[in-house]
Structure formats: structure tokens, C-alpha cells
Structure 1
Amino acid sequence: MYPLADRTAIVTGASRGIGRGIAERLAADGALVAVHYGSDERAARATVAAIEEKGGRAFPFRADLGEPDAVDTFYAGLEAGLAERDAGPGFDILVNNAGASGSGRIHQLTTEVFDRLVAINVKAPLFLIQRGLDRLRDGGRIVNISSAVTKHAFPDSVTYAMTKGAVDTMTLALAKELGPRGITVNAVAPGYIATDMNARRRATPEASAALAALSVFNRLGTPADVADVVAFLVSDDARWITGQYVDVTGGSAL
């Protein structure tokens, strides 16, 4: 039973954390997975190796999404990887997972950090979708990784929260725009997940316990908790779901 056996999926920021979990799950469901990474080639190759060890198919490719030529570099690398596997140039699934964080509170902001977060978290997903529309097959799936911070005040990283709010708005607009082609567009919003991105916030047992206590299940989320929801949204079972913000926080702050 491989529901994605005939599909090609792209997962941005798939070298570690949530992205890696998503890549591994989609590969387990049968998809050929393009594992995008920004800088850590070793981690990306580890993701591919983990997929291949379980009989899946994947390949890595690099593009720094904060650079001005990011979209050109991205699709050049993608097309080369697909061609090597006689599987190009179209694809069926795009998961915009790559993201940058750490802007700080309002009095800590710098224009350099602001510009980089906007470039990676907003500009890149938008223009990756735009450039990919002639490659994305009808009936395809787009999943944008948002965040719970768009529904709850998060002054600790105001720019990050702003960028994820933009992702939510983009998701709504594109769901309506692409509906006539049978393409669904949804946003998945994790809460606190046990990944490197929030390692600082759970640096002590007490801090980790406080974050876990936000969930009604009294634990931190895992990449698999998010990946399983993404796998559903890109499957045929989710064909009637689009334009939605899916809370994947374990009932945080209910």
C-alpha cells in the first residue's frame, strides 16, 4: 500500500527536523522525494540515506533561499536531480517547510535579520510556487508550514510571527486561485516540536517541562506528529480540503 507511489514530492528544508520527518514519511508512502537543503549537505545526505535504507527513493539538492537567485538555483538543482533519475521535470507535491527564525523582540530588530526572514519565510515560498506552476501537475498538492504563533501573541520573535501570518494569507489566496486545476493549498501550523530550532527554549528540564505543559497531552510534539498530517493533506483522501489552517499543536493553549 503506497498511496504516493506515482508521485514526485519536493520538501524544502528537509535536511533535519520537521522537514526531514516529512520527507521520510512521504518516501515511506511511495513518493520520489526531492530533499532540499540550504547549507548542511551532510545532513541532507543523511536524510536521503535514511530514506533509501527503508527502500524509499530520494535525492538531495541545494539552494540558499535567502539569496537573490534562490528560485533559479532551486529549480536548476531540482531539474538536474530529476533528470538523473529519469523523472522530470514535473512534480505533484510541494511542501514549503524551510524557515528561518530568531528575530527577537521589537527593540532587538535589525533590518538585516528582518530582510532574511522575509526572504526565506515569505518571498521564497511564494516565488517557488509561481515558478513551479507550469511543472506542478493538475490535482497536485501544496502544503505550507505555518506556525501556532499566527493565532497567539508571540512578542519574542515578532518578525517570525509576521512572516508566518503572511504564509497563512498566501495559502488562502492560492487555494482559490489554483482550485480550478484541482490543486489544493493548505497550511499546517505546528506548536512546540522537539527540534533544533527551539533547542534554546528547552535547554533545561524545567524549560522543556513548561513547553510540554502547553499541550493537553503534556508533551512536546515530534516531527512525525507533523509529518503524518502533511501526508494526509497530500493524499487523495484530502481532495476536498483546501485553503485551511490545520492546527498541529497538541491542543496547546486551549
Structure 2
Amino acid sequence: AIVRQPSVFLFDEPLSNLDAKLRAQTRLEIQKLHRELGVTSLFVTHDQVEAMTLAQRMIVMNGGRMEQIGTPEEVYVRPATTFVASFIGSPPMNLLKGQAAGTRFTVGADTLPMPAAAPRSGELILGLRPEHAELNAVGSGAAGSAGTASTASAANAAGWPLKVEMVEMLGAERLVYARLGESLFTVRIDATLTPPAVGDSVHVHMKAEHLHWFDPTTERRIA
């Protein structure tokens, strides 16, 4: 029962000391109470799952500074900064710093084909969510998270070469951790698909609409 009838509820990490099962149950109860009472609630948390599931609007803070304000969907789909991109999402967005030139993006010693031209030439940070990477084993037609290599554009037909380091089974999905040169790259695939083995060479493909571009100096979104 709610004893008082305040104008605003303030929750400061209320679920942080609960075990996983009780935390999920209590989160549902908080959602139910909020719907029933209709009272404005300010919920402070470091748990992105709590923020994404409870919020109607959320503020992402970094060192006391507001990085982005928006609905959970807006923040996830169009992160305003690299901090937001790396903080919201589990696993976080893949972020690669490199040199862009048209439909080519150079990361370290690797020059990678792009499905579309970068928004500008020069040094940029490219972002790609793990679920938007399409994985294919070299020399096979194995499907990836969102389809097969045949769905990628001709400009991206060669794909990006990765070396698989680890595969995690998470029930309905698998996470594939691989290396792109010196950078760690994560791909989310459906558990019904045959995963690559550790040590396998694979190619990853993507679609232009799933790419995120950030300025390397300000770390703010440019496209």
C-alpha cells in the first residue's frame, strides 16, 4: 500500500540490492503502481534494463552532464553521443575509429567496404549494433543475425573480415565475439542458427540504414 499521496515519487537505486529474480518482479510492481496512481516518478539507476523498461522519457547522465533526453526507443535507435551508444544496449554498440573516404573506411591496417558513402571524409567513429551485423562464414552460405550475405549491397559484398574469439549461448540468442584487426567486434545471432567456431574466419555485412556516425573530437552524432 502507498501511505502518502505525493506529487512526485523519487526512486534512488531502489532495486540495486535485490537478486535478479526479485529485481525483475519488483520492476513489474513499480510499473503497475505507476499506471494505477498516475504520479510523476523520477527513477535513478545505473541499470540500463531498468531505465529502458520503466521510463517513458529518460535522461542519460555522464559525469553530471546530460548526454541525451528522449524516449527509450529514441535513445537506443539514435544515440546522441558515443557514450550513450556504448552505455545503452547490451551488448553495447560496436564503435570503430577510422578514416572515411567515400565507400571505404580504414581501421588500422584494414580498409573496409561500406554499403554507402560516409557523411564526410576524414577521421570518424562508425557505430553498428550487434543485432544489425549480418554474419557469414567464409566460403559458406550460413545465415547471420539479420539474413545472409545476399541481402548486403554490392558495395558491401566483400564484407568485413573477422576472426572469432568466443561464442556465448544465451538461450534464444548467441553472442559472437570476434576481432577486426585490433578491435573487438560483437555480433548477435539467433540461437537456431549454426554458430561459427572459435578460430573461424567470418565476414560481417551491414545495411546503410543501420550505420551510426560520430565526430571523433566531440564524440557527438553527425549522421
Q: What's the TM-score bracket when you normalise by the shorter of the two chains?
A: under 0.3
The structure whose Rg is larger is: 2
Say which structure is richer in helix.
1
Pick 1 or 2: higher relative contact order, CA cutoff 8 A, min separation 6. Answer: 1
